[in-house]
Amino acid sequence: MTNMHQLQEAANFIGRALSLEKKPKATTAIVLGSGLGPFAKNLKLASSSSSVLFCDIPHFAPSTVEGHKGEVIYAMADDTPVIVVNGRLHFYEGYDAQQVVFPIRALHLLGIKNLILTNASGAIGEGFEPGHLMALTDHINLTGTSPLIGKNLDELGPRFVDMSKSYDSELITLAKEAACKANVIMHEGVYAGLTGPCYETPAEIRVLKMMGAHAVGMSTVFETIAARHMGLRVLAIACLTNKAAGLSKTPISHDEVMENNAKVASLLGAILTEVVRKIVMASP
């Protein structure tokens, strides 16, 4: 069970490892999904960047999935400071929901107020194609659990959390404007979060479509719940990497997910940089 001492210990370690007290304060964090590591690599080329691996941070679980390096990076997106989580933890790796969101909670203690989540998703909605992006307007939690189950950490947020506006409409507008500027198709839609690691069956996809889902994946939901519990503004962008089961004649594979995400990584990087810059400009 996560406690405040563990979170503060992890946050203090990250602060020292990244020398945050000597650098401009970052108030926005970005979590990179499968295949989006090239964006982090480009950020690390900057002389002002620094990083620390999950496995070195107290109480962090290591990332075990291909395409998820598992590191926390401080860098400048153009001239705006940002903290990037390159690779995330997943429920299907055997971690519980509280372990999955532990990095988000620790970063909040370092002053993060805005959270940008990215993921690789299967496309369900009509006209939603591989290579397109989708800004999440809502989600359906089909994991059967929540990171808020158990003793509430009152220092972080209330026992009961309103999820009626999980994804910030102003941030969605910024993301869509940035996508338009980059000539990238960005839909809006509802994300269905399942446990994985197996992909969904065609019958399950038909049910999800009837429920109103436009994309499906194996992440993001827990992080959004934890972020809203702490009062963070959340923007989530799904990279549509494949047609969901039964909507394409070809089998779904992790290699396909990685390949298609790599194609949009540079374009998404430009969008994320623009959004981070505009968030800072709009801050009071």
- Would residue 166 show up in a list of annotated catalytic residues for this protein? no
Name every residue whose Cβ is closer than 8 Å to that of residue 210 and which is 6 or more positions away in sequence. Answer: none
Q: For 184-228, how does the pLDDT look when each residue is reduced to its tens digit (9 = 90+)? A: 999 999 999 999 999 999 999 999 999 999 999 999 999 999 999
Choice among 92, 204, 248, 270 that is catalytic: 92
Question: Catalytic annotation on 68?
Answer: yes
Residue in 86, 114, 121, 242 annotated catalytic: 242
| 254 catalytic residue (yes or no) | yes
Tell me if 153 sits within 8 A of 106, measured CB to CB.
no
Span 6-20, pLDDT tens digits: 999 999 999 999 999
5 as an active site residue: the answer is no
Q: At what angle do helices 169-181 and 254-282 cross, to 10 degrees?
A: 110
Give 242-259 pLDDT, tens digit per residue: 899 889 777 777 777 677
State yes or no: is 219 an active-site residue: yes
- Answer yes or no: 121 catalytic: no
| Catalytic option among 26, 34, 238, 265 | 34
d(Cα 149, Cα 145) in Å, to the nearest integer? 7
Catalytic position from the list 17, 42, 93, 177:
93
The residue from 17, 182, 254, 256 that is catalytic is 254
Neighbouring C-beta atoms of residue 163, cutoff 10 Å: 14
| pLDDT over 70 at 148, yes or no | yes
pLDDT at 266 over 90: no
Choose, from 68, 132, 187, 214, the residue flagged as catalytic: 68
Distances in Å between the Cα of 5 and the Cα atoms of 12, 43, 105, 238 are: 10, 31, 12, 33
Closest CA to 229 of 97, 136, 132, 119: 97
Q: Is 74 a catalytic residue?
A: no
pLDDT at 45: 56
- pLDDT exceeds cutoff 90 at 1: no
**How many Cβ atoms from other residues are within 10 Å of residue 246's Cβ?**
15
Helices (H), the chain: 4-17, 37-44, 97-109, 169-181, 202-211, 221-229, 254-282
Task: Report the C-alpha gap between 50 and 30 in whole angstroms.
Answer: 15
- 34 noted as active-site residue: yes
Query: pLDDT confidence of 35, banded at 50, 70, 90?
Result: low
Fold of 4-18+26-282: Rossmann fold (3.40.50)
Q: What is the mean pLDDT of the chain?
A: 91
Task: Locate 271 and state its tokens.
Answer: 């969008």
